[in-house]
């Protein structure tokens, strides 16, 4: 059921295996195929509060599989606008569709310039090869 | 197999309580039980059958080889069960007057003396209930020691190894310290350069087990101790691997200031399916004033409890600790006497023998002689045949063995951590190695038998994902879910939203 | 005397396979500076028979409850342990198994723990229990830690009527946990709910004991309500042997129920090993310390049991774990499960009633002033003996009777008070004897 390995070109990436889809002054965040594969089937999502703030490079929540816990590292700073309730109810959605239905939070950016510091798909794939 | 609640029938019972023939006072209405607890209603024959069936579905050291790394699953001598049941121990109330508990106090005092000698240190508290609690107690001692010297605010950090058992960092947090990790070098020793960079005046101490969870003795331990002591910090020894070095190298002589011992590992308190254990701590003189209260002391020919300890950290467990555990460990050690080193020598010999037989079929991350345990990697099997450490573990069950520890220590991929202990005969070691070699062959020739293992246990591979997603953690009587069917949505969601 | 199987021939063959000349060579990585080069200074080895003689001699220097008519309680109790407990715990599979991390090897232990968890939930009226804690004192520290994380507050309120050892352990854990501990004094042997409510403002939790350390019944529903009004978690420390008669904490507003399990199924054993229990509402499941067993199915669809929500625990979450606990008290909890199964709901109620009836008889028969005459008690009560309690105890013991616990050991103002415990193992003649002896030695 898990997705095929992929790293879409239209996304930005953080070295801790998180992605961001930037649209104007908002961004949707999630974890990459590599991250969900390393965790195994995800059984729990601990999201931030809507209205709370997240900071670049800091943890904003957790995902868990049976054998591991992973901090969700935010690629960008902002205010939480929406938490994906689908993932809260059915965490395995992240394994099935990490870049689509498996998105984790939507944030309003407080410092859009941070986007320039993120990796593009090519650079992220490069990082994975060096792992 | 049925749960005991599924064997219950209303009106059955095992017990008959003597009736005092006296009026029963009333419990005030607002405090009274409304509905009785739904305890099992079974007569004695069914209780015995039920637990016998459960025992039949359980594998212990008594059943067979149990090579879990850093657990020291050695034989538990039955004479220890006989002596712990002596009424003078078994039926002794912990608040009995001291003159009525001289035997218990003497046993504890003697055990303390033994542990101090084994560790090469000065003072002991037997109070902690398990290794983890010993760790926490040791860290509390560190904190009290530095507070006494006016350095409490300065000494905020404790350093653990990257190979450390998870209890070490967990204990650091519970003791209110910050955590720092030091790396292991290519030889399996602590990386001294990394260590020197991380030790400073904010360091309270080091938590280390030696040999490490890789089964390797740190060749630079003297240098490690000097680095910490020169910085005014302390060294804490996690005694989980003490079975390797009893009578051969003493933690106090290595430079450690505080030691916890796992009585259920090194000194044969039976593991009991997950406990009880005992985690006594042994310390250098300078930490003695801070030990938990009461202390067990000797005054001429008498033994007593000393509560007058103004600098004590307090109490970590009720009474003087898990006394029944002390009886067994004391008896175990008295059976060896001064020749305790024979135990460690045999443990190390057994481990090295297995390592020699298995090192070619599996990957060996550190090419050294091991101590009482060793770590292999199944990474070669994964790379070549898609077989993981988990698959190897499940398949070993079909050969009649309990698997070794898997996926620990964290720094080795597809880790298999194997500790035979000293009580295993050579034929058992050979049979296990033969099985491991057979599994390596199966990985190449018949991978599916591994993937679907175990085949011969009371259950097949269990779905741990399902258990985490909808946690059924008690029997629900009329509402107990039929797991063959679909769970009710409400139940699954309820658990997910846990705090 | 040793437990080793290796012969000289074995050793030779093994050394050859390893490729070293002697066992000493295996230790060559140990630096010379830390080698221990003498023999351990320990007493000579004993053969099995000698070992039994020696331990027998030590045991005979203790005065146990078979030798002295004892009314000691104060947290550890002489309730009847049925013979099946000994028989079942002697099964080598239970005795010598490890923690059930490999579930296919340990279905027996896992199912037993699942049944234990169920029994604890039934007794306490809670939704989730763990697989046991170390004892009745450390589970109080655990409960405070849970409450801190759940509420975000760091003040904890302890009633003075809670067992002094429990309070002392909480205070020992408090600095590391970052907790501020506040105590609420007793008022004539129980806790005043209003006073508790005021102290509970801004607190993470409130801990009370039912029955309390003096044996008195607290106004527990009122105490829980007062805590809830202040948004502090009510934590009840309860006696399992009282829960056939007393309402379950989960049914009067408590968030967490804890206690010492010893009275249900373990021998006194000079204070341990025993088992602590901790159970809570389902909301807090992810903050629970220690192991939890869950039900699931295997690949063939058969029901089975596994350790679950292990991401809470130290081996996965490490420094962020809900606790560092690993080894707990499984074998003793198994004894508790067997005993509570043997008792059944009727037996538990009858045991409680017998304790209460005998204790009431004792109060009348002793004819001594009660420390808290207005209070309803369960199986323990405090009497005043008219002279320093320790003197009375000494004198009574010379006559073969231990009358109970000198409360002055923990409550300095209670010079002449003794806490008398009467379990269902006592008979009327035993109480008559106590009465006789106290009449001789009391002031």
Mean pLDDT computed over every residue of chain C: 97
Mean pLDDT computed over every residue of chain B: 95
For residue range B236-292, list pLDDT tens digits in order: 999 999 999 999 999 999 999 999 999 999 999 999 999 999 999 999 999 999 999
A105 domain residue, yes or no: yes
pLDDT for res B484: 60
pLDDT for res B496: 35
Across B307-346, b (16+ Cβ under 10 Å) vs e yields eebeebbbbbbbbbbbbbbbbbbbbbbbbbbbbbbbbbbb
Containing structural domain, residue B411: 343-464
Query: Do residue B327 and residue B419 come from a single domain?
Result: no
Cα dihedral A105/A108/A113/A114 (nearest 10): -30
A11 domain residue, yes or no: no
B378 domain residue, yes or no: yes
Chains with ≥3 CB–CB distances under 8 Å to B: A, C
- Candidates C384, C434, C437, C392; CA nearest to C413 is C384
Mean pLDDT computed over every residue of chain A: 94
Distance between CA atoms of residues C25 and C122, nearest Å: 58
Query: Do residue B333 and residue B355 come from a single domain?
Result: no
Contact C327, B273 (CB under 8 A): no
Number of cross-chain residue pairs from B and C with Cβ atoms under 8 Å apart: 721
Residue B92 has pLDDT above 50, yes or no: yes
Number of domains in chain B: 3
**Residue B253, by phi and psi: left (phi above 0), alpha (psi -120 to 50) or beta?**
alpha
Domains located in chain C, CATH noted: 69-81+344-441 (3.90.1150.10), 84-337 (3.40.640.10)
pLDDT for res A130: 87
Containing structural domain, residue A48: 17-123
Residue A52 has pLDDT above 60, yes or no: yes
Close Cβ partners of B396 (under 8 Å, ≥ 6 residues apart): B402, B403, B404, B432, B435, B436, B439
User: Three-state SS string across B73-89, please?
Assistant: CCCCCHHHHHHHCCHHH
What average pLDDT does the segment B31-40 reach? Answer: 98
Distance between CA atoms of residues B474 and B464, nearest Å: 16
Distance between CA atoms of residues A14 and A60, nearest Å: 14
What average pLDDT does the segment C349-353 reach? Answer: 97
- Candidates B441, B418, B426, B420; CA nearest to B360 is B441
Close Cβ partners of C40 (under 8 Å, ≥ 6 residues apart): B117, B118, B246, B247, B338, B340, B341
Two structure tokens written together for A108 = 């309003």
User: Does B496 touch chain A if contact means CB atoms closer than 8 Å?
Assistant: yes
pLDDT for res C311: 85
pLDDT for res A3: 84
**Where residue C317 falls among pLDDT bands split at 50, 70, 90?**
confident
A48 domain residue, yes or no: yes
Distance of CA C331 to the CA centre of its chain: 13
pLDDT for res B181: 96
For residue range A53-85, list pLDDT tens digits in order: 999 999 999 999 988 899 999 999 999 999 999
Pick the residue of A41, A69, A71, A72 with the most C CBs within 10 A to test the interface with C by mutation. A69
- To the nearest whole angstrom, how far is the Cα of B493 from the nearest Cα of chain A? 7
pLDDT for res B495: 37
Cα angle value B384/B390/B394 (rounded, 5°): 115
For residue range B178-217, list pLDDT tens digits in order: 999 999 999 999 999 999 999 999 999 999 999 999 999 9
What average pLDDT does the segment B99-104 reach? Answer: 98
Contact C413, C372 (CB under 8 A): no
Cα dihedral B315/B319/B323/B329 (nearest 10): 20
Two structure tokens written together for A16 = 């801790």
Break chain B down into helix, strand, coil percent, rounded to 5. 40, 10, 45
Query: Do residue B46 and residue B187 come from a single domain?
Result: no
The dihedrals phi and psi of B253, each to the nearest 5 degrees, come to -75, -25
C interface residues, A as partner, C-beta within 8 Å: 310-311, 316-317, 320
**Where residue A25 falls among pLDDT bands split at 50, 70, 90?**
very high
Query: Do residue B126 and residue B216 come from a single domain?
Result: yes
Distance between CA atoms of residues B418 and C115, nearest Å: 32
Pick the residue of C14, C35, C40, C374 with the most B CBs within 10 A to test the interface with B by mutation. C40
Strand duo C203-210 + B295-299: pairing: unpaired
Q: Do B496 and A41 touch (CB under 8 A)?
A: no
- Nearest chain A residue (CA) to B497: A88
Query: Do residue B281 and residue B410 come from a single domain?
Result: no
pLDDT for res C416: 96
For residue range C86-116, list pLDDT tens digits in order: 999 999 999 999 999 999 999 999 999 999 9
For chain B positions 438-497, those within 8 Å of chain C (CB to CB) are: 452, 454, 457-464, 466-468, 471-475, 483-484, 494-495, 497
What average pLDDT does the segment C46-56 reach? Answer: 97
Which CATH number fits the domain that encloses residue B218?
Answer: 3.40.640.10
- Candidates B139, B107, B177, B25; CA nearest to B327 is B107
Distance between CA atoms of residues C188 and B170, nearest Å: 42
- To the nearest whole angstrom, how far is the Cα of B20 from the nearest Cα of chain C? 6
- Candidates B431, B408, B80, B403; CA nearest to B263 is B80
pLDDT for res A82: 96
Two structure tokens written together for C298 = 């295997």
Query: Do residue B210 and residue B314 come from a single domain?
Result: yes
Residue B485 has pLDDT above 70, yes or no: no
Query: Do residue B347 and residue B322 come from a single domain?
Result: no
**Where residue B478 falls among pLDDT bands split at 50, 70, 90?**
confident
pLDDT for res B486: 43
Residue C315 has pLDDT above 50, yes or no: yes
pTM greater than 0.90 (yes/no):
yes
pLDDT for res C312: 87
Pick the residue of C51, C97, C239 with the most B CBs within 10 A to test the interface with B by mutation. C97
B33 domain residue, yes or no: yes
Provide the percentage of residues in chain C whose pLDDT is more than 70.
100
Q: Cβ of B372: how many Cβ atoms within 10 Å?
A: 29
pLDDT for res C75: 98
Computed on alpha carbons and rounded to an integer, the radius of gyration of chain A in Å comes to 13
Distance of CA C80 to the CA centre of its chain: 16
Contact C247, B32 (CB under 8 A): yes
Place of tokens 């000579």: C44
The H or E element containing residue C304 is strand C303-307
User: Does B464 touch chain A if contact means CB atoms closer than 8 Å?
Assistant: yes
Pick the residue of A66, A83, A86 with the most B CBs within 10 A to test the interface with B by mutation. A66
- To the nearest whole angstrom, how far is the Cα of A35 from the nearest Cα of chain B? 17
Distance between CA atoms of residues A24 and C326, nearest Å: 49
Q: Do A44 and C311 touch (CB under 8 A)?
A: yes
Q: Which chain C residues have a beta carbon less than 8 Å from that of B352?
A: 14, 18, 20, 26
What average pLDDT does the segment A27-41 reach? Answer: 94
Close Cβ partners of C196 (under 8 Å, ≥ 6 residues apart): C157, C159, C184, C206, C208, C223, C226, C227
Distance between CA atoms of residues B74 and B62, nearest Å: 10
Largest CA distance in chain A: 38
- Nearest chain A residue (CA) to C318: A69
**Where residue B327 falls among pLDDT bands split at 50, 70, 90?**
very high
For residue range C390-433, list pLDDT tens digits in order: 999 999 999 999 999 999 999 999 999 999 999 999 999 999 99
Query: Do residue B220 and residue B101 come from a single domain?
Result: yes
Query: Do residue B90 and residue B194 come from a single domain?
Result: yes
Q: What Cα–Cα distance (Å) separates residue C119 from each residue in A60, B44, C130, C279?
A: 38, 18, 11, 11
Q: Do C104 and B25 touch (CB under 8 A)?
A: no
- Nearest chain B residue (CA) to A87: B496
A9 domain residue, yes or no: no
Distance of CA C144 to the CA centre of its chain: 17
B484 domain residue, yes or no: no
pLDDT for res B467: 94
pLDDT for res B497: 36
The dihedrals phi and psi of B140, each to the nearest 5 degrees, come to -65, -35
Number of domains in chain A: 1
Query: Do residue B362 and residue B333 come from a single domain?
Result: no
Cα angle value B452/B454/B456 (rounded, 5°): 125
Residue B482 has pLDDT above 90, yes or no: no
Which CATH number fits the domain that encloses residue B361?
Answer: 3.90.1150.10
Contact A105, A26 (CB under 8 A): no
Cα angle value B43/B47/B52 (rounded, 5°): 155
Close Cβ partners of B343 (under 8 Å, ≥ 6 residues apart): B243, B246, B336, B422, C2, C4
C6: helix, strand or coil: coil
Residue C279 has pLDDT above 60, yes or no: yes
For residue range B363-406, list pLDDT tens digits in order: 999 999 999 999 999 999 999 999 999 999 999 999 999 999 99
- To the nearest whole angstrom, how far is the Cα of C325 from the nearest Cα of chain A? 17
Residue C154 has pLDDT above 90, yes or no: yes
User: Does B2 touch chain C if contact means CB atoms closer than 8 Å?
Assistant: no
Query: Do residue B263 and residue B315 come from a single domain?
Result: yes
pLDDT for res C1: 54
Two structure tokens written together for B410 = 């964290």
Which CATH number fits the domain that encloses residue A42?
Answer: 2.40.50.100
Helix (H), strand (E) counts: chain B = 18, 12
- To the nearest whole angstrom, how far is the Cα of C75 from the nearest Cα of chain B? 9
Q: Do B496 and A89 touch (CB under 8 A)?
A: yes
Query: Do residue B350 and residue B221 come from a single domain?
Result: no
Q: Do A89 and B468 touch (CB under 8 A)?
A: no
The H or E element containing residue C190 is none
User: Does B407 touch chain A if contact means CB atoms closer than 8 Å?
Assistant: yes
Break chain C down into helix, strand, coil percent, rounded to 5. 45, 15, 40
């Amino acid at each position: 059921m898990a997705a095929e390995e992929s790293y879409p070109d239209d996304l930005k990436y953080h070295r801790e295996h998180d992605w961001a889809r930037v649209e104007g002054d908002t961004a949707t965040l999630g974890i990459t195929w590599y991250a969900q594969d390393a965790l195994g089937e995800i059984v729990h999502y601990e999201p931030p509060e809507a209205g709370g703030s997240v900071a670049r490079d800091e943890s904003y929540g957790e995902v868990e599989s049976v054998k591991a816990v992973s901090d969700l590292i935010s690629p960008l700073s902002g205010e939480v606008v929406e938490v994906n309730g689908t993932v809260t109810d059915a965490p395995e959605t992240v394994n099935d569709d990490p870049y689509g239905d498996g998105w984790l939070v939507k944030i309003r950016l407080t410092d859009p310039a941070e986007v320039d510091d993120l990796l593009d798909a090519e650079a992220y794939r490069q990082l994975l090869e060096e792992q | 197999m049925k749960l005991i609640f599924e064997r219950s029938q209303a009106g059955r019972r095992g017990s008959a309580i003597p009736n005092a023939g006296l009026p029963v006072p009333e419990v005030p209405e607002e405090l009274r039980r409304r509905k009785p607890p739904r305890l099992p209603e079974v007569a004695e024959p069914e209780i015995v059958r039920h637990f016998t069936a459960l025992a039949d579905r359980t594998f212990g050291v008594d059943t067979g080889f149990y090579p879990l790394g850093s657990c020291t699953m050695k034989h538990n001598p039955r004479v220890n069960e006989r002596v712990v049941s002596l009424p003078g121990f078994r039926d002794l109330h912990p608040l009995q007057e001291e003159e009525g508990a001289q035997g218990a106090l003497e046993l504890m005092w003697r055990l303390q003396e033994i542990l101090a000698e084994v560790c090469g240190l000065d003072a002991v508290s037997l109070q902690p209930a398990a290794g983890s609690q010993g760790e926490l107690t040791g860290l509390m001692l560190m904190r009290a020691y530095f507070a006494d010297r006016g350095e409490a605010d300065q000494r905020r950090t404790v350093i653990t190894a990257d190979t450390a058992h998870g209890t070490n960092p967990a204990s650091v947090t519970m003791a209110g310290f910050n955590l720092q990790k030091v790396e292991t070098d290519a030889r399996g020793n602590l990386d001294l350069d990394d260590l020197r960079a991380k030790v400073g005046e904010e360091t309270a101490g080091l938590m280390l087990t030696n040999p490490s969870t890789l089964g390797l003795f740190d060749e630079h331990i003297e240098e490690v101790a000097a680095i910490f002591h020169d910085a005014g910090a302390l060294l804490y020894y996690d005694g989980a691997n003490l079975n390797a070095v009893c009578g051969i190298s003493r933690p106090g002589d290595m430079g450690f200031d505080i030691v916890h011992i796992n009585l259920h590992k090194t000194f044969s308190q039976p593991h009991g399916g997950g406990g009880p254990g005992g985690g006594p701590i042994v310390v250098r003189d300078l930490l003695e004033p801070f030990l938990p209260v009461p202390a067990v002391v000797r005054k001429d020919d008498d033994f007593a409890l000393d509560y007058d300890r103004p600098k004590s950290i307090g109490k970590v467990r009720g009474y003087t600790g898990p006394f029944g555990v002390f009886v067994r460990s004391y008896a175990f050690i008295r059976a060896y006497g001064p020749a305790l080193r024979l135990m460690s020598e045999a443990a190390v010999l057994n481990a090295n023998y297995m390592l020699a037989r298995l090192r070619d079929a599996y990957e060996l991350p550190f090419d050294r002689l091991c101590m009482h345990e060793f770590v292999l990697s199944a990474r070669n099997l994964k790379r070549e045949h898609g077989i993981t450490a988990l698959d190897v573990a499940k398949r070993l069950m079909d050969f009649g063995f309990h698997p070794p520890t898997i996926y620990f220590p964290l720094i080795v991929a597809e880790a298999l951590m194997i500790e035979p202990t000293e009580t295993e005969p050579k034929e058992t070691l050979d049979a296990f190695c033969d099985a491991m070699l057979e599994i390596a062959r199966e990985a190449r020739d018949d991978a599916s038998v591994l993937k679907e293992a175990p085949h011969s246990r009371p259950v097949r591979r269990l779905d741990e994902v399902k258990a985490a997603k909808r946690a059924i953690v008690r029997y629900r009587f009329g509402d107990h879910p039929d797991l063959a069917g679909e769970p009710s949505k409400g139940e699954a969601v309820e658990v997910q939203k846990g705090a | 005397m040793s437990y080793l199987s290796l012969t000289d021939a074995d050793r030779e063959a093994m050394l050859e396979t390893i490729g070293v000349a002697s066992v000493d060579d295996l230790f060559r990585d140990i630096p010379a500076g830390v080698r221990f080069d003498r023999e351990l200074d320990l007493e000579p080895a004993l053969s099995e028979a000698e070992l039994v003689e020696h331990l027998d001699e030590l045991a005979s220097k203790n005065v146990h409850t078979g030798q002295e008519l004892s009314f000691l309680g104060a947290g550890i109790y002489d309730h009847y342990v049925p013979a099946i407990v000994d028989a079942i715990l002697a099964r080598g599979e239970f005795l010598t198994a490890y923690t059930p991390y490999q579930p296919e090897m340990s279905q027996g232990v896992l199912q037993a723990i699942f049944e234990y968890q169920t029994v604890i939930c039934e007794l306490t009226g809670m939704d989730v229990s763990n697989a046991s804690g170390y004892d009745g004192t450390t589970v109080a520290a655990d409960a405070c830690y849970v409450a801190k994380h759940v509420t975000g507050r760091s003040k904890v309120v302890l009633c003075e009527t809670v067992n002094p050892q429990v309070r002392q352990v909480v205070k020992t854990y408090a600095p590391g946990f970052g907790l501020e501990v506040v105590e609420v004094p007793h008022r004539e042997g129980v806790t005043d709910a209003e006073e508790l409510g005021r102290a509970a403002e801004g607190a993470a939790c409130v801990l009370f004991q039912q029955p309390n350390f003096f044996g008195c019944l607290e106004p527990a529903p009122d105490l829980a309500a007062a805590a809830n009004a202040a948004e502090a978690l009510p934590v009840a420390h309860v006696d399992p042997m009282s829960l056939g008669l007393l309402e379950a904490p989960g049914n009067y507003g408590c968030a967490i129920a804890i206690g010492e399990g010893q009275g249900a199924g373990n021998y006194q054993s000079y204070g341990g090993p025993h088992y602590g229990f901790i159970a809570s509402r389902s909301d807090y499941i992810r903050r629970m310390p220690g192991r939890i067993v869950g039900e699931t199915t295997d690949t063939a669809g058969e029901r089975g049991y596994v350790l679950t929500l292990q991401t809470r625990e130290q081996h996965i979450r490490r420094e962020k774990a809900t606790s560092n606990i690993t080894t707990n008290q499984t074998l003793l909890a198994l004894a508790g499960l067997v005993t509570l199964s043997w008792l059944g709901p009727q037996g538990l109620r009858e045991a409680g009633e017998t304790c209460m009836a005998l204790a009431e008889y004792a109060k009348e028969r002793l004819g001594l002033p009660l420390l808290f005459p207005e209070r309803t008690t369960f199986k323990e009560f405090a009497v005043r003996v008219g002279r320093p309690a320790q003197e009375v105890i000494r004198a009574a013991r010379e006559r073969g009777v231990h009358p109970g616990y000198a409360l002055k050991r923990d409550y300095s103002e209670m010079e002449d008070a003794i806490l008398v415990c009467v379990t269902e193992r006592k008979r009327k003649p035993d109480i008559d004897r106590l009465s006789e002896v106290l009449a001789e030695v009391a002031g």
